Structure 1
Amino acid sequence: MRKPASCVLSIALSLVMTVGFIPSPALAEIASAPEPAAQSAGKPNESPAETTSGQARANDQISAASGTNVTANATQPIDASMFSIEDTDIRYTGNPVMPTVTSSTVPSDQYTVAYENNVAIGQATAVVTADDQNYSGTCAIPFEIKPANAAANYQHSTTAQSGDITLTVQWNDPRLGQETTFHVTATGGSGAYQFRMDAPTYMDPDGSSESVADPSRNQWQQYTGECTSHDYQFEMTASGTYYLRFYLMDKAAGVYYLRSNVFASANDDAYPAVSAIVKSAVDKCSADTDGSDYARALWLHDWTLDHLEYDHDLNWCSAESGLTRHQGTCESYQRIYSKLLNAAGIANGRITGNGHTWNAVKIDGKWCQMDLTWDDTSDNWYGDLDQRHLYFGLTDELMAIAHSDHTSNYQKDDYAYRSTDLSNNYFVRNGKADKWAEKYADRIQQHLDAKEESFSINADNQSFPPSISGIQNGIVAYAMNLREWETNNSKVELAATSNVTKESNSKWSAKYRFLYLSTDDIIRAINQRLPRLRKMYCH
């Protein structure tokens, strides 16, 4: 009579435990033994997990002893009773809510969790999936997303009303350097509200104010989908007051514009006001320089570039963002430099063109052009040309090479920042322009000695793009005109100009053009005009 399979299994296990092996005929008998219709191999007080684990160990021992694969299906299906969500106070935030799902039965590395309907207020679901050697299957864990905390849990609240619709904004005392949550809700109307937050304005203790970000960017223009409330987060980074505007639209109720204003103030020595940062920089500038306009303008130019990176997302556009978030567009560069110059007592102005802005600066009574945005680079692509100062102290004509719209700016009769002099140009002041001019001296002299009254010389930077070569060569031409020239022991007045001509889409020609008159020629020309001048002014 064949023994029951359970009995054979017990004998097999005994043999394994006693002598470390099991004979092949016994294995064959085990393999062919019919399973009992319904019989639990576990003890009455064993948990399903313990039973499964014990059965798996027995199969492993048999397989190891015989070298024969014996497979038993040991996975246990999961159900909702094995899992729990500990957080019982899950609140609406306007963003996906993902509470932690835990289990005292199933190890955390043997299941994954996905979420359904986990944004809006109401019933949501955590979907647990197990696919492991011990556990398998899927089960749903329901949880509730409750309305956001009531107003009593916030320190501040402000409202705006239109008809029966009330827009409410709630927030706590802001902590600088951390995000502050502004909870926006509404009552009345249709209940299908859409909300929007405008770009915040920073109000400095010194009385100045500015939009921190560009309000035309999409993130400040876009309304939410229809909802009953929404949470906005914003990080304040400077001591002072932030002015924030929140909007509601309820199309079904015919309300398209309802605004609530928030003034949130915070002060922290670790996050000084913009005006305090500016004062500290100017004080250090005065201590580190000789106090001249040029030295201070240059120091403040370099300090600005050291503290700011260009924001390629084109969002941050203020002195606040540049000095405390260290990001900004051309507006940030221009505003920061202007604030620094104002604090240093150096006259300056704002220039715009080609969707860009830069500074005009008055140094020792002479206006010149400065573009800190275009100077902010670590590139060194053009030989010994310091690209970090290429746009420091330019004339209007040279700046128009980079920004073509500036031509119409400086040709207006009421233009207030006329810049015609390169005496405060960076390369002129540090002597670099004269060294560049020296490289052309022998070639120029050959033409002078040949008594050519006009001639041209190819520039050495033919491979540079016109926006670079045109500006550099204009500076070099200025230095050429400052040098003393003579031929045949007679002094010569040289007039050098730079000219860059486009020959094709990928090729251009950079040249210097020269005109000269000897001193004798100049005196002769003056004497020829004297009789006419006497008639005009001496009668």
Structure 2
Amino acid sequence: MIKIYYLLIFFIICSQTTFSQIGPRVWKKEVKTTSNKKKSKFSTKHLAYSITNITTSDSEKVLEIYNWITKNISYDNELMRSKSLQNRIYTSEENVVKNVLERKMALCGGFALLFKFLCLDLGIEAKEVHGFTKDYTGRFKQTKTPHHTWNVVKLNGKWHLIDLTWAVSHGNDGFPDNFWYLTRPEDFIYSHYPEDPKFTLLNEPISFSEFKNKNSH
């Protein structure tokens, strides 16, 4: 059953045609070139507090952020196809998040940055992670450049994995696929490999070569 589940996941990934490829490649480069510009006044703090105003623990807050994003932000097919729109939006992290909230749509980098911003606003440690994924057959696409972005978030002193893009893209009838929320590292590694191996979150991280040759369940 688990193997069938993963094959279904990979089939959906394939049907989304390169949805993972734009975010990390573009905005990582652009943020570096705009680091000396005047600091933006844009803030997500009010949104972060409004989303989590009835929660108390960090775990509850992170779940509410996840629920809000997966309910209100959809995958941005227009941005995926438009180079001019990418050039206009991917000028800084703040501008990416600002456009995500205005357009109610995102690519993987936008999902990951919005999640990170909202967590940091609440004092919860979170990072965006750039890396590689496999296609629906479990085969690795031969590329040296990371083509997907997801998150890690620290709860109760321990890092956890979240892929908002896949949760939204693989959901049904407006509901996200919650398999990608706080996914076990042992499951995540079958389809995702980070630039920095420590973010596999495995007790004994595997190498990139092992990931490429690793079969699905």
- 2:191 aligns with 402
- 1:303 aligns with 68
Name the structure where strand makes up a greater proportion of residues.
1
Aligned positions of 1:36-51 closer than 5 A:
none
Distance 1:280 1:394, change over 3 A: same
Question: 1:319 aligned to 2:77?
Answer: no
- 1:283 aligns with 49
For 1:283, the aligned partner's letter is: Y
- Identical-residue share of aligned pairs (%): 23
- Equivalent residue pairs, number: 149
Aligned positions of 1:118-517 closer than 5 A:
214=26, 274-275=42-43, 278-289=44-55, 291-313=56-78, 314=80, 315=86, 316=89, 318-354=96-132, 355-377=147-169, 379-380=171-172, 387-403=176-192, 405-406=193-194, 409-410=196-197, 415=198, 418=201
For 1:359, the aligned partner's letter is: N
Structure 1 residue 375: Cα displacement: 0.8
- 1:184 aligns with none
Query: 2 CA distance for matches of 1:501 and 1:418?
Result: 19
Distance 1:372 1:306, change over 3 A: same
SS at match of 2:68: helix
Distance 1:419 1:367, change over 3 A: farther
For 2:127, the aligned partner's letter is: G
For 1:346, the aligned partner's letter is: I
Distance 1:346 1:284, change over 3 A: same
Q: Per-residue displacement from partner, 1:467-503 (whole Å, max 9, x unpaired)?
A: xxxxxxxxxxxxxxxxxxxxxxxxxxxxxxxxx967x
Distance 1:287 1:387, change over 3 A: closer
Name the structure where helix makes up a greater proportion of residues.
2
TM-score, scaled relative to structure 1: 0.25
Structure 1 residue 395: Cα displacement: 3.2
Query: 1 CA distance for matches of 2:172 and 2:126?
Result: 29
Distance 1:215 1:377, change over 3 A: closer
For 1:293, the aligned partner's letter is: D
Distance 1:387 1:328, change over 3 A: closer
Structure 1 residue 340: Cα displacement: 0.3
Structure 1 residue 389: Cα displacement: 1.4
Query: 1 CA distance for matches of 2:187 and 2:101?
Result: 29
Q: What value does the CA root-mean-square deviation take over the aligned residues?
A: 3.6
Give the number of the structure with larger relative contact order, counting CA–CA contacts within 8 Å between residues 6 or more apart: 2
Q: Per-residue displacement from partner, 1:25-80 (whole Å, max 9, x unpaired)?
A: xxxxxxxxxxxxxxxxxxxxxxxxxxxxxxxxxxxxxxxxxxxxxxxxxxxxxxxx
Structure 1 residue 307: Cα displacement: 2.8
Structure 1 residue 417: Cα displacement: 7.3
Distance 1:325 1:387, change over 3 A: closer
TM-score, scaled relative to structure 2: 0.57
Distance 1:365 1:329, change over 3 A: same
For 2:155, the aligned partner's letter is: I
Query: 2 CA distance for matches of 1:309 and 1:274?
Result: 22
For 2:58, the aligned partner's letter is: D
Query: 1 CA distance for matches of 2:186 and 2:170?
Result: 25
- Which residues of structure 1 form unaligned runs of 5+? 1-210, 217-243, 245-262, 266-272, 421-499, 503-509, 511-539
Query: 2 CA distance for matches of 1:298 and 1:362?
Result: 13
Larger Rg: 1
- Which residues of structure 2 form unaligned runs of 5+? 1-22, 29-33, 81-85, 91-95, 133-146, 204-213
Q: Is the 8 A contact 1:331 1:357 kept in 2?
A: yes
SS at match of 1:353: strand
